[in-house]
Chains A and B, each alone.
Chain A
Amino acid sequence: MPNGSSCSASRGTVLAQRLAAQMTRIAGREIPAGVLDTTLYRDDLAGQPTRATRRTEIPVDLDGATVVLVDDVLYSGRTVRAALDALTAFGRPAVVRLAVLVDRGHRELPIRPDAVGRNLPSAKTERVRVTLTEVDGADAVTIEGEPR
């Protein structure tokens, strides 16, 4: 049973909080949600405009914990790689799982999610956008742009 979950973007944060709340209800014990900013662990910092960092909040000791990484859209996998690197700065979790709302394919690294809300095959020219009530006012997944 997981005893911690985190995420790597503000919509990921909201999803992690929703999941943690559900899991807390089902498990009958507190499953804390944290926030993990992956910016400083990215491998593409040189090629594009400097990214602003975000606050990281890990409310529990991760040594020996089961951690679920949560993000809204899984694409190249590079953010997840950075997140795995960032996590190890906080300790050595027993198990790390990956849960995403949308998997749109086009992986550039050998990373596969353990739980997927929806597989959404998409062209690289398309843009997949997740909106959430807490951030955007409504829950939705939209695909924009040309299918190729």
Chain B
Amino acid sequence: MSDHLLSTRGFTRDRAVTLLDVAEDMADTQRRQVKKLPTLRGTTIVNLFFEDSTRTRISFEAAAQRLSADVITFSAKGSSVSKGESLQDTAQTLQAMGADGIVIRHPSSGAAHTLATSGWTRAGVVNAGDGTHEHPTQALLDAFTIRKRRHGDDSRGRDLAGLRVVIVGDILHSRVARSNIWLLTALGASVHLVAPPTLLPTHTEGWPVTTGIDLDAAIDDGPDAVMMLRVQRERMTEAFFPTAKEYASLYGLSVARADRLPGSSLVMHPGPMNRGLEIAGAVADSPRSTVLEQVQNGIGVRMAVLYDVMTGERAA
């Protein structure tokens, strides 16, 4: 039980496993004749998106609707008001309109935390991506997907102990990488980061990870999953690598590289993909790729998160 989901940092193993188990049960409900659950009937959830997103927004909308919440989507992109003011005004407006839950995506790191702790609203807050900080539901669906591929119907109650995950690419700008680092290690997996030196954060000493710049070495180490990150050109204000061709050749998951992975290794990508840049199209479409499962699993995971945040006693 929790009032908000802002970050996966500080997650215990048990909290993570419980949330993934609820997500399993939520996913199961979507195979019933009647897929709609009355669970959040009478509550209002606002999707507050200050940044473009199609799949995350639709996934949260579907999750909220299948739990019978009323859903309002508010796309605030392009607002010229300074960010702090804009967020405060918007939050107070939503509070006045009776929002019980707010799912927020914002280009500024810490926006979800600000919204949850500012006193502007009493709504439960779910972070759907804040700047380069965190994207906790993406990490949860990634962990869910790994566990599901590994254990199938026998997934409940299990963690990811002993599994080795390599995260490759634009770590510097990636909220997906950060959320995954905290969550996967809480679940007992080990995480290795691979990126060009310019795209590795400078302060990773406190992170529970190992880092490297050699993708080939990481592949030949036989990891259980390789998570390719999108090259986020929109967040790059300077040249982080010489050319796209060079990036693809050094850090792209080509068919040749994927073929060197053990048969059971997964290839993951949070989407949207730059095919031919960080991942070859044929690899993204191969049986070891979980790209579409990640999208599918996202709905059950977000149902579990909304259930967790929106039910139970609220702190005053």
How big is the A interface, by class?
20 to 34
Are B307 and A40 interface neighbours, CB within 8 A? Answer: yes
- The residues of A that contact B39 with a CB separation of less than 8 Å are 40-41, 45
Q: Mark A29-51, 1 if CB is under 8 A from B, else 0.
A: 00000000100110001111111
- The residues of A that contact B38 with a CB separation of less than 8 Å are 40-41, 85
Q: In the complex, identify which listed stretch (B208-216, B231-239, B308-316) lies at the interface while the others stay far away.
A: B308-316
B residues 19-75 in Cβ contact with A at 8 Å? 21-22, 24-26, 28-29, 32-35, 37-39, 67
Within the complex, the shortest CB–CB distance from A141 to chain B, in Å, comes to: 30
Q: In the complex, identify which listed stretch (A2-10, A86-94, A99-107, A108-116) lies at the interface while the others stay far away.
A: A86-94
A133 close to B (CB within 8 Å): no
Are A50 and B312 interface neighbours, CB within 8 A? Answer: yes
B13 close to A (CB within 8 Å): no
Q: Given A45-B311, A49-B1, A53-B22, do A40 and B37 touch, yes or no (CB 8 Å)?
A: yes
User: In the complex, which residue of chain B has the Cβ closest to the Cβ of A47?
Assistant: B313
The distance in angstroms between the C-alpha atoms of A46 and B29, with both chains bound, is: 21
A52 close to B (CB within 8 Å): yes
How big is the B interface, by class?
20 to 34
> Contacting B307 at CB < 8 Å: which of A50, A88, A89?
A50
- The residues of A that contact B34 with a CB separation of less than 8 Å are 88-90
B156 close to A (CB within 8 Å): yes
- The residues of B that contact A51 with a CB separation of less than 8 Å are 311
A97 close to B (CB within 8 Å): no
> Contacting A55 at CB < 8 Å: which of B37, B156, B313?
B156
A residues 40-94 in Cβ contact with B at 8 Å? 40-41, 45-56, 85, 88-91
> Contacting B28 at CB < 8 Å: which of A47, A48, A50, A55?
A55
Q: Which of A41, A45, A91 has the most CB of B within 10 A?
A: A45
Within the complex, the shortest CB–CB distance from A72 to chain B, in Å, comes to: 21
The distance in angstroms between the C-alpha atoms of A22 and B313, with both chains bound, is: 42
B109 close to A (CB within 8 Å): no
Are B25 and A37 interface neighbours, CB within 8 A? Answer: yes
The distance in angstroms between the C-alpha atoms of A37 and B25, with both chains bound, is: 9
- The residues of A that contact B25 with a CB separation of less than 8 Å are 37, 40, 53-56
Q: Given A49-B1, A88-B34, A89-B34, do A40 and B29 touch, yes or no (CB 8 Å)?
A: yes
- The residues of B that contact A46 with a CB separation of less than 8 Å are 311-312
- The residues of B that contact A55 with a CB separation of less than 8 Å are 24-25, 28, 156
Q: Given A37-B25, A40-B39, A40-B307, do A49 and B33 touch, yes or no (CB 8 Å)?
A: no
- The residues of B that contact A85 with a CB separation of less than 8 Å are 38
Q: Given A40-B307, A41-B39, A90-B32, do A52 and B313 touch, yes or no (CB 8 Å)?
A: no
The distance in angstroms between the C-alpha atoms of A46 and B38, with both chains bound, is: 13
Are A45 and B33 interface neighbours, CB within 8 A? Answer: no
Are A49 and B313 interface neighbours, CB within 8 A? Answer: yes
- The residues of A that contact B308 with a CB separation of less than 8 Å are 50
- The residues of B that contact A54 with a CB separation of less than 8 Å are 25
Are A50 and B24 interface neighbours, CB within 8 A? Answer: no
- The residues of B that contact A88 with a CB separation of less than 8 Å are 34
Are B32 and A89 interface neighbours, CB within 8 A? Answer: yes
Within the complex, the shortest CB–CB distance from A65 to chain B, in Å, comes to: 13
Q: Mark A6-17, 1 if CB is under 8 A from B, else 0.
A: 000000000000
Q: Which of A37, A88, A89 has the most CB of B within 10 A?
A: A89
Given pairs A50-B1, A56-B28, A89-B33, 9 additional interface contacts (CB within 8 A): A40-B29, A40-B39, A46-B312, A47-B313, A48-B312, A54-B25, A89-B29, A89-B32, A91-B33
A-B contact pairs, 6 of them (CB 8 A): A40-B38, A40-B307, A41-B37, A48-B312, A89-B34, A90-B33
List 7 A-B pairs, minimum CB-CB distance, nearest first: A50-B312, A50-B1, A53-B25, A89-B34, A45-B311, A89-B32, A40-B39
Binding site for A on B (CB under 8 A): 1, 18, 21-22, 24-26, 28-29, 32-35, 37-39, 67, 156, 307-308, 311-313
